[in-house]
Amino acid sequence: MTWPARATMNKEMDFTPPPQDLGAMAEVLEGKHGLYAAGIAEFFALYHGQKGDVGRAWAWTGVAELVRTRERERLDEM
């Protein structure tokens, strides 16, 4: 069996989640960590940014922003 050309040519595969998955990541983080979800997402963004993984840092920054936006929306409904 041979590997697809894309897998053999790309030595470092990109495992960055697509934008549509950020909502699911935010929901899981909120469910498990509640009020701390945005801070935890920021931690992961900083960690991956310092390690040079720009894609994952971008994803976690998006999750943190999404969590904060959802928090604001919930507070506005009250």
Provide the whole-model pTM. 0.76
The 10s digit of each residue's pLDDT in 22-69 is 999 999 999 999 999 999 999 999 999 999 999 899 999 999 999 999
Q: Which amino acid is at 52?
A: G
Q: How distant, in Å, are the alpha carbons of 3, 56, 70 from that of 46? A: 34, 10, 21
Is 40 within 8 Å of 33 (Cβ atoms)?
Answer: yes
